[in-house]
């Protein structure tokens, strides 16, 4: 190869490198993408919520959790949009919704408090509570024609380990129903979930157990359309940012098929 030919090849390689570098420089950051999404977020949010605040919360989540910063931009924005459409601030102390990193993708996770919040949107809903029963509490539970549930928390000392979890719902027409699950049942559900060893189960077992009971109880309760959508998207990765994407059955990563509404993963 002559010196002129070598110089020409070198110049082409240099030009290609410069083009690639410019392309990398022009690729928007996660923060820039969130800023660009603010008009869409504003349209999705309930009137009492602010898009600027959601954007700040999103940036704070990324700063606090480097794994989220490494997730695909599409999946993070998708989870953020799902939270916005449901009216939740992700990762807030209320525990209504979370954005969780899973193998390079950001996953929307519905908290049990979020399920309670959405239950109250149904016109038939009157009251709902979820409790943990501990070994030193007084507890009676009977099923069948004479259903019975009595729980008196211990007031004279340590309540001890959890021995049961239950939820009680009352409707505006006076109807009342409850669901009780024991540790072995909760553990069986955990083992069958898509992420049985997740951080949520390891660090907040009782809260996840309550969510499991509530999800099971909801099979027999009236659900608002918003609650039904939230439960369907729980534990999923969303990359479609269209406003109506939340109405479309999502993909469940790592599962052979989509679970039935209201009976999906409990993590």
pLDDT at 262 over 50: no
Same domain, 24 and 62: yes
Write the pLDDT tens digit of every residue in 195-209. 888 888 998 899 999
* Pair (156, 192) in one structural domain: yes
Q: Are residues 141 and 130 in the same domain?
A: yes
Rg (CA), the chain: 24
Least confidently predicted of 117-131, 143-157, 198-212, 228-242 = 228-242
- Judge whether 86 and 97 are in contact, CB under 8 Å: yes
pLDDT at residue 143 greater than cutoff 60: yes
Burial zone of 217 (CB within 10 Å; 0-12 exposed, 13-18 middle, 19+ buried): buried
What is the percent of the chain where pLDDT is above 70?
A: 80
Determine the pLDDT at residue 127: 93
Same domain, 81 and 186: no
Q: Is the pLDDT of residue 136 over 80?
A: yes
Task: Report the pLDDT value the prediction gives residue 32, as an integer from 0 to 100.
Answer: 87
Number of domains in the chain: 2
Same domain as 241, residue 218: no
- The whole-number average pLDDT for the span 49-71 is 91
The reported pLDDT for the residue numbered 248 is: 53
* Each residue's pLDDT tens digit, 2-34: 655 555 545 555 555 554 554 455 677 888 888
Overall average pLDDT of the 43-63 stretch:
90
Give every CB contact of residue 189 below 8 A, 6+ residues apart in sequence: 212, 216, 266
Same domain, 190 and 256: no
Query: What average pLDDT does the structure give for the chain?
Result: 83
């Amino acid at each position: 190869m002559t010196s002129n030919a070598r110089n020409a090849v070198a110049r082409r390689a240099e030009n290609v490198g410069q083009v690639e570098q410019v392309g990398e420089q022009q690729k928007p950051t996660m923060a820039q993408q969130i800023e660009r999404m603010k008009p869409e977020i504003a349209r999705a949010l309930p009137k009492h919520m602010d898009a600027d605040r959601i954007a700040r919360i999103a940036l704070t989540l990324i700063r606090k959790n480097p794994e989220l910063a490494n997730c695909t931009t599409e999946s993070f924005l998708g989870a953020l949009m799902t939270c916005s459409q449901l009216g939740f601030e992700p990762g807030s102390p209320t525990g209504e919704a979370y954005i969780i990193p899973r193998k390079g993708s950001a996953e929307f996770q519905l908290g049990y408090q979020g399920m309670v919040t959405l239950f109250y949107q149904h016109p038939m809903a009157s009251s709902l509570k979820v409790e943990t029963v501990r070994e030193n509490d007084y507890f009676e539970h009977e099923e069948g024609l004479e259903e019975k549930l009595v729980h008196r928390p211990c007031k004279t000392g340590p309540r001890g380990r959890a021995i049961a979890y239950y939820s009680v719902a009352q409707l505006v027409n006076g109807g009342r129903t409850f669901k009780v699950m024991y540790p072995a049942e909760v553990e069986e559900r955990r083992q069958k979930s898509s992420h049985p060893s997740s951080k949520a189960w390891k660090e907040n077992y009782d809260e996840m157990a309550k969510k499991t009971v509530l999800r099971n109880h909801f099979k027999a309760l009236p659900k608002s359309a918003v609650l039904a959508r939230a439960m369907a998207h729980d534990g999923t990765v969303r990359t479609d940012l269209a406003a109506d994407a939340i109405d479309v059955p999502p993909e469940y990563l790592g599962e052979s098929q989509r679970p039935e509404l209201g009976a999906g993963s409990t993590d």
